[in-house]
Amino acid sequence: MRPPLLLAAFLLVPASLSPAGEPLAAAPAYVEPPVAMVKADPDPTAGLATPSWQWPLSPRPLVLRDFDPPPKPWLSGHRGVDLGAASDGAHVTSPAAGSVSFVGVVVDRPVITIDHGNGLRSSFEPVASTLAPGSAVAAGQPVGTVLPGHCPAAPCLHWGVRRGDDYVNPLQFVMDLRPSILLPLEAPP
């Protein structure tokens, strides 16, 4: 049974003081906190999604430019990834089921955005699409074609994913980005 919080706080009072508040002889160098006060280390992989989506291009594309978000939302950065397309006109497919929430031009590029639910939205540019907002799409369903103009040296697709208002790395939905952990070898018996 774990002690109540008040009792746990009382137990943390230094044992080096007498009831009158005067110092006693030698105080212990370290007092172990009660179990109720010990916090576990946070999970270093918290926030990383389990890969469950499909790549939006086929065959599996090369990542030409990584996700590089700015330190502050108003600063410049790369809020998605650039994927190498086999050619201009390559089919772009929905990485997960959802519904089209936007089709139009942003600044000077044609964009399509798919709402996947749970606050997740994918945006692709530059993409020509005949779909209309509200159209339901299945995972792997073609949603448009890659247009030239995003990457100067090769055909490519920019893919961004937002969770609410925050941009997140799209690759976490198609790859396992958790860090590798080396475990010690077991000692021979």
**pLDDT per residue over 121-152, tens digit each?**
999 999 999 999 999 999 999 999 999 988 88
Residue pair 167/80 in contact by the 8 Å Cβ criterion: yes
Give domain 63-173's CATH superfamily: Glucose Permease (Domain IIA) (2.70.70.10)
Between residues 158 and 73, the one the model is more confident about: 158
Element counts in the chain: helices (H) and strands (E): 1, 11
Between residues 20 and 170, the one the model is more confident about: 170
What does the domain layout of the chain look like in residue ranges?
1-42, 63-173
Q: What percentage of the chain's residues is helix, strand, coil (to nearest 5)?
A: 5, 30, 60
Between residues 4 and 188, the one the model is more confident about: 188
Distance of alpha carbon 103 from alpha carbon 105, whole angstroms = 7
pTM, rounded to two decimals: 0.69
